[in-house]
Amino acid sequence: MIEQLPAIQLLLTLLAAPICSMLRNGDQSWRLATIVSWASVAIAGALLHQVWGGGNDISYHMGGWPPPWGIEVVVDELTAIVLLLVTLFGALVMTALRESLSTIMRHQRQSLYYTSFLLCMASLIGITLTGDAFNVFVFLEISSLATYTLIARGRDRRALTAAFRYLIMGTIGATFILIAIGFMYMLTGTLNMADLAERLPEHRDSRVLHASFAFFTVGIALKIALFPLHYWLPNAYTYAPKATTAFLAATATKVSLYVMIRFVFDVYGVEFSFQQMQLGTLLVPLSLAGILIASLTAIFQSDAKRLLAWSSVAQLGYMSLGVGLLNLNGLTASITHMFNHAMMKAGLFLALATMIYRVQSSQLTSLAGIGRTMPLTTGAFTVLGIGLIGVPFTAGFISKWYLITGALDKGWLPVAVLLIISSLMAIVYIGKMIDVMYFKPAPEEFSNVREAPMSMLIPCWIFALLTLYFGLDTRITAGLAGRVAANLLGAS
Amino acid sequence: MFTGLFNYWIVVILMMAGLYIVMSSGHLVKKIIGLNIFQTSVFIFFISMGKVSGGTAPILKDGISVFSNPLPHVLILTAIVVGVATTALGLAISVRIYEAYGTVEEDEISEMDKENRQRETSVSTVVLDKQ
């Protein structure tokens, strides 16, 4: 049973999805989906426990076919933490989703929505688990297709154009990755990642491999929404229905970043990616530009959801910057921030969705004075916002600390200064929201809104408390990330 | 050189044509068609890659020693399914867009969105000023 866990982790959500679509009753399928997601969290926890400490990675052979012929499932520490990220934050959002959906969707439609949600979760788990390059492409496309349908269900008609735009960009990105995988297969005749990693170095001067790397970088950058390929993200996040944004912001881009780290470090190899192809020279300036421009844009938004979406673009810049720094602290910061940002941004979007549940608008003007009518939700929002800024004793501080240390290790003082400036910008845009929520008088029609239902409030506060917890206890986040980073860098 | 790599030249031409259509056309359905051409070029790329000249289909039979590599072909079977799903979803969203906006021209849609947005922000600044 224990050795079957990696397969169960994937199959549980994948099989629950079609069952969900067959249940006509929205409540029933919500119950099933919630139970399944929490079961996945338990499995992810068990897997993390098994590989904890490094050195005892799990390799599972699908159908008993040994790699490189069969499909291999590999669980190491990095995989396990990303699995925990996807399942835990997915499950928390799923718990809050029923109340959130009840105002915008008829009961029968809801089961289909949970189906898409579960499919998206299953495919993200699949991307994380698989050790096969082509599998990554297939799961990437499944998750994207599920995401497009999730976004297109938004109430505003602009959700449709946002979904369409994402569909075009996402498909181009995924197809680029497919081309990259094709080139690698052409050179080596294998699709297993570990096998590829062994065989690629001898082709390091081949132009085919260079082309493959170029296609991969552009394709995955589209998926991560790295600046300047972030064009699809703000609209998609703004118009996606309510709590869904919390799930997307937490998982989709993070898992893409995981794919990038996997391929760049493990498959292509550090030496090839960074010395021969000079990935760092590309990533660092673009990430910095992304951080500053996106933070600046966020300051001038009047829609709370769009503001947080732009902040996401900036925060993704932090993560890619950490990869670009290519030293222990930088990479540790990337992986830590992947987890921490997923947690904080999911919490922020969820708290926002909870407010929108009551006031039916995400414009800052409608949220004015909500701190008095919905004190608990706003309290969670404030804690999470402070975490995002990176105040000490919150999770955001840990990752920023490592990132700035990483920049200083390189002797790049200007980069560290720019990071501090961008944190100040975060204070401005988060502060602007908190200011409106607490100190502006509420519009009359919203002066007697009630506090949100418990099923939404509790997940919000779990996110907030986790943000505080991971600000103090960094064994699971930074401790693990440090080991993983040392491993990735040492593998070259 | 040209004839030997004939398939790959076709791949490149189709790929560029597809991407060009996606970027240049404002018509949503045409964009989907462009996307399809782009994806098809990658399918041809994979299939050409698996072909061994002089080889037959990979069937176990006496007297056959050279056969094409079946793996890329199988991969593309999967990729075709993914492509069909993407096309179907893209067209479905286009239909919904037509119902919501009354047009599938990107320029007109973004024009409508812009007006919408201006109205929202102007309302919000007025309200904030009042407070």
Instruction: Say what percent of chain B tops pLDDT 70.
Output: 89
- CA dist., res. A148 & res. A272, Å (int): 34
For residue A278, the distance in angstroms to the closest alpha carbon of chain B comes to 26
Q: What is the pLDDT of residues A426-453, one digit of tens each?
A: 999 999 888 888 888 877 777 777 777 8
User: What average pLDDT does this structure show over A252-272?
Assistant: 90
Q: Encoding tokens for residue A279?
A: 């990935």
pLDDT at A106 over 90: no
Number of domains forming the structure of chain A: 1
In a domain, A393, yes or no: yes
pLDDT at B64 over 80: no
- CA dist., res. A346 & res. A342, Å (int): 6
Cα A175 to Cα A87, A229, A247: the distances in Å are 27, 15, 24
In a domain, A39, yes or no: no
In the prediction, which pLDDT does B122 show?
65
In a domain, A139, yes or no: no
Q: Encoding tokens for residue A392?
A: 């000490």
User: What average pLDDT does this structure show over A241-266?
Assistant: 89
- CA dist., res. A180 & res. A99, Å (int): 43
Which one is predicted more confidently, A39 or A97?
Answer: A39
* Cβ pair B127:A365 closer than 8 A: yes
Q: Encoding tokens for residue A124?
A: 């993200």
* Cβ pair A160:B96 closer than 8 A: yes
Residue B56: strand pairing partners: B67
**C-alpha torsion A310→B101→A154→B91, nearest 10:** -100
Question: Residue B14 — very low, low, confident or very high, per pLDDT cuts 50/70/90?
Answer: very high
Considering only the beta carbons, identify the residue of A161, A168, A363 that sits closest to B120: A363
Question: Residue A182 — very low, low, confident or very high, per pLDDT cuts 50/70/90?
Answer: very high
Chain A residues with CB-CB distance to B124 below 8 A: 302, 363-365
Cα A451 to Cα A345, A376, A462: the distances in Å are 21, 7, 17
Q: Encoding tokens for residue A350?
A: 């969820």
Contact map slice: A 282-341 vs B, CB within 8 A: 302-303
User: What average pLDDT does this structure show over B55-77?
Assistant: 82
pLDDT at B29 over 90: yes
For A182, nearest residue in chain B (alpha carbons) = B46
In the prediction, which pLDDT does B2 show?
63
Instruction: Provide the domain limits for residue A351.
Output: 278-492
Q: What is the mean pLDDT of chain B?
A: 84
Q: Is A398 exposed, middle or buried (0-12, 13-18, 19+ CB in 10 A)?
A: buried
B121 part of contact set with chain A, CB < 8 Å: yes
B45 part of contact set with chain A, CB < 8 Å: yes
Question: Residue A60 — very low, low, confident or very high, per pLDDT cuts 50/70/90?
Answer: confident
Read out DSSP for A20-34? HHH---HHHHHHHHH
Considering only the beta carbons, identify the residue of B49, B100, B101 that sits closest to A186: B49
User: What average pLDDT does this structure show over A402-421?
Assistant: 89
In the prediction, which pLDDT does A90 show?
92
- CA dist., res. A158 & res. B101, Å (int): 9
Helices and strands counted in chain B (H then E): 4, 0
Chain B residues with CB-CB distance to A167 below 8 A: 86, 89-90, 93
In a domain, A58, yes or no: no
What is the distance between the terminal CA atoms of chain A, rounded to a whole angstrom? 35
* Cβ pair A172:B22 closer than 8 A: yes
Contact A130, A73 (CB under 8 A): yes
A158 part of contact set with chain B, CB < 8 Å: yes
In the prediction, which pLDDT does B55 show?
77
In the prediction, which pLDDT does A215 show?
93
Q: Is A375 helix (H, G, I), strand (E, B) or coil?
A: helix
In the prediction, which pLDDT does B130 show?
44
In the prediction, which pLDDT does A491 show?
56
For residue A473, the distance in angstroms to the closest alpha carbon of chain B comes to 41
A440 part of contact set with chain B, CB < 8 Å: yes
CATH code for the structural domain at B6-130: 1.10.287.3510
Q: Identify which of A171-175, A205-209, A446-450, B6-10 has the greatest average pLDDT.
A: A171-175
Cα A467 to Cα A67, A344, A348, A359, B52: the distances in Å are 40, 7, 11, 26, 56
Quickly tell me which residue has 């199959």 as its tokens: A11
Question: Residue A276 — very low, low, confident or very high, per pLDDT cuts 50/70/90?
Answer: confident
* Cβ pair A175:B94 closer than 8 A: no
CA-closest candidate to residue A173, choices B78, B67, B38: B38
Considering only the beta carbons, identify the residue of B78, B82, B121 that sits closest to A302: B121
For residue A440, the distance in angstroms to the closest alpha carbon of chain B comes to 7
pLDDT at B129 over 60: no
Q: What share of chain B is helix, strand, coil (3-state, %, to 5)?
A: 75, 5, 20
Q: What is the pLDDT of residues A319-358, one digit of tens each?
A: 999 998 888 888 999 999 999 999 999 999 999 888 888 8
Q: What is the pLDDT of residues A277-292, one digit of tens each?
A: 888 888 899 999 999 9
* Cβ pair B86:A137 closer than 8 A: no
The answer for A303, left when phi > 0, alpha when psi is -120 to 50, beta otherwise, is beta
For residue B6, the distance in angstroms to the closest alpha carbon of chain A comes to 17
For B88, nearest residue in chain A (alpha carbons) = A145
Q: What is the pLDDT of residues A24-39, one digit of tens each?
A: 787 888 889 999 999 9
pLDDT at A57 over 90: no
For residue B61, the distance in angstroms to the closest alpha carbon of chain A comes to 22
Chain A residues with CB-CB distance to B93 below 8 A: 148, 152, 160, 163-164, 167
Chain B residues with CB-CB distance to A161 below 8 A: 97, 109-110, 113
**φ, ψ at A72 (rounded to 5°):** -100, 140
Instruction: Say what percent of chain A tops pLDDT 90.
Output: 33
Delimit the domains of chain B by residue range. Answer: 6-130
Q: What is the mean pLDDT of chain A?
A: 88
User: What average pLDDT does this structure show over A264-289?
Assistant: 87
User: What average pLDDT does this structure show over A464-480?
Assistant: 86
pLDDT at A125 over 60: yes
pLDDT at A455 over 80: yes
The answer for A483, left when phi > 0, alpha when psi is -120 to 50, beta otherwise, is alpha
In the prediction, which pLDDT does B121 show?
66
Q: Encoding tokens for residue B59?
A: 């069937």
Chain B residues with CB-CB distance to A163 below 8 A: 93
On the CB side of A225, CA atoms within 13 Å amount to: 27
In a domain, A201, yes or no: no
Q: Is B19 helix (H, G, I), strand (E, B) or coil?
A: helix
> Amino acid identity of A146?
A
For residue A415, the distance in angstroms to the closest alpha carbon of chain B comes to 34
In the prediction, which pLDDT does B131 show?
42
B75 part of contact set with chain A, CB < 8 Å: yes
Model ipTM? 0.89
Considering only the beta carbons, identify the residue of A161, A168, A364 that sits closest to B124: A364
Neighbours of A411 (CB within 10 A): 8
Residue A75: strand pairing partners: A58
Question: Residue B94 — very low, low, confident or very high, per pLDDT cuts 50/70/90?
Answer: very high
The alpha helices in A52-76, defined as continuous H runs, are none
Chain A residues with CB-CB distance to B89 below 8 A: 145, 148-149, 167
Longest dimension (CA), chain A: 70
* Cβ pair A138:B19 closer than 8 A: no
Enter the DSSP assignment of A81.
H
Rounded to the nearest 10 degrees, what angle do helices A133-152 and B70-101 cross at? Answer: 10
Cα A348 to Cα A22, A37, A457: the distances in Å are 32, 21, 12
Question: Residue B124 — very low, low, confident or very high, per pLDDT cuts 50/70/90?
Answer: low
* Cβ pair A138:B82 closer than 8 A: yes
pLDDT at A492 over 50: no
